Amino acid sequence: HDLYLNTLMQAVHLDMGRENSDLSAVPLAVLRATVYPFERPAVFRADHPFVYVIRHNATGCILALGRCTEPEY
């Protein structure tokens, strides 16, 4: 059986004050060995620099924007 990433979540902590703000995030992944009877899911390889956006779907408001310049894999 192949191993697929079933769920990817990110816990985000945003601390905003008068002087500065701090955004920290911890990625959480749930792996499950499973067989997909349908077409294979899309593959995202984070082995190169990339930009990411966390957006509220209902309003389109951007909650966080960032970039990963040196991914570790």
Mean pLDDT of the 2-17 span: 61
Task: Write down the pLDDT at residue 70.
Answer: 76
The answer to whether the predicted template modeling score (pTM) of the entire model surpasses 0.75 is: no
Q: Where are the domains of the chain?
A: 3-36+46-68
d(CA 30, CA 4): 9
The more confidently predicted of residues 32 and 62 is 62
Cα distance from N-terminal residue to C-terminal residue, the chain: 22
d(CA 56, CA 62): 6
Residue with tokens 């957006």: 55
Q: Work out the pLDDT band at 43, boundaries 50, 70, 90.
A: confident
